[in-house]
Amino acid sequence: MPELPEVELVVRSLRNKIVGRKILAAELLYRRLAPGHSPKDFAKTLQNAEITAVERRGKFILFKFVSENTLVTHLRMSGRFLLLRPDNETPKHSNAIFYFDDETRLVFNDQRHFGLMKIAKNGRLQELFSNLAPEPLGDEFTPEYLYRVMQTSRRSIKEFLLDQTKVCGLGNIYASEALFISKINPKTPANKISRKRVAPLHAAIRLVLSESIDHGSTLNVDPNNIESSYYGGEYEGHWRVYDQEGRRCQNCRAPVRRIVQGSRSTYYCPHCQRR
């Protein structure tokens, strides 16, 4: 599922391909993709919009235009952007289409209908993201920050790491991976982790995110690769513990365990990540 590295790769790739393009027409095919916009309003607001930038904030993708509007999108579970040529048919589960001035079109494809879009005035962006944690690869995200917000929560550290208002960008995969690297038991309450152990956790979070960006992620996020399924990115199979139940731990050879926390799977090594 797209987490920060996947979103970052989508953004980089789209940035190269569509900045400078003009949207001649926009079509909202699934109303619930953009709650708060009617298809008519959606089409009208984006008609003739010239794309000046594609940016990322947390797991959100932002399309900036010459106008004062920004199109904010979230891929959620299964959302993908596809760049189609005139001879490509629009695939199933396409929920929005943006027709460009060069005959190509950008499609938002999402089989599970979890994805979201919102058109916001630029002046409103700050408040839109006011609850989102600082960028985990940025300067504001320090071990001191992490320790401070960890003190505010008694939830398990695994569930804590998925809370985008505390730490943003991690999802179920990278949360397990970061805890494995920093040898922290996923069941430990966030506020029970000593100051001394926060620095390795902070470093592990940065490591798993930047490493995946550098290796091309585990998912197929190439908007030109319309044939391929969602899975099968270049970095597939490089998970240390995620989805490795029963396989041997890379460090100690103990079998990796799967538990359920907050109705989500957590994978960890019960030997390396002892309480």
Partner DNA sequence: ACTAAAGCCTGGCTGC
Partner DNA sequence: TGCAGCCAGGCTTTAG
Instruction: Tell me the CA distances in angstroms from 145 to 142, 151, 206, 222, one per residue in order.
Output: 5, 10, 14, 34
The yes or no reply on residue 221 touching DNA (CB under 7 A) is no
Q: Does 111 bind DNA (CB under 7 A)?
A: yes
Question: Could you tell me which residues come within 8 angstroms of residue 128 by beta carbon, excluding any fewer than 6 positions away?
Answer: 72, 118, 120
Pick between residue 74 and residue 124 the one whose CB is nearest to DNA. Answer: 74
Nearer to DNA by Cβ, of 154 and 195: the residue is 154
Work out whether 6 is an interface residue with DNA (CB under 7 A): no
Quote the least distance from Cβ 219 to DNA, whole Å: 11
Longest distance between any two alpha carbons in the chain, whole Å: 59
31: DSSP letter:
G
Q: Quick check: 205 and 178 in contact, CB under 8 A?
A: yes
- Find the shortest distance in angstroms from Cβ 171 to DNA: 3
Q: Does 192 bind DNA (CB under 7 A)?
A: no
Give the binding range for DNA (CB under 7 A) out of 80-88, 204-212, 218-226, 260-268. Answer: 260-268
Number of residues that bind DNA (CB under 7 A): 31
The Cα–Cα gap between 174 and 72 comes to 23
> Binding segment for DNA among 83-91, 167-175, 177-185, 211-219 (CB under 7 A)?
167-175
Q: Does 76 bind DNA (CB under 7 A)?
A: yes
Q: Is 96 in the site for DNA (CB under 7 A)?
A: no
For residue 161, give the nearest of 130, 140, 188 by alpha carbon.
Answer: 188
Q: How far is CA 178 from CA 170, 220, 268, in A?
A: 9, 22, 10
Contact set for DNA, span 7-46 (CB under 7 A): 32
- Let me know: does 125 contact 133? Beta carbons within 8 Å: no
Q: Is 70 one of the binding residues for DNA (CB under 7 A)?
A: no
Residue 92 annotated to the active site: no
Residues 236-255 binding DNA (CB under 7 A) are none
Note whether 264 binds DNA by CB under 7 A. yes
78 lines the binding site for DNA (CB under 7 A): yes
59 catalytic per annotation: yes
Structural contact between residues 136 and 107, judged by C-beta atoms closer than 8 angstroms: no
Q: Which residues are catalytic?
A: 2-3, 59, 264
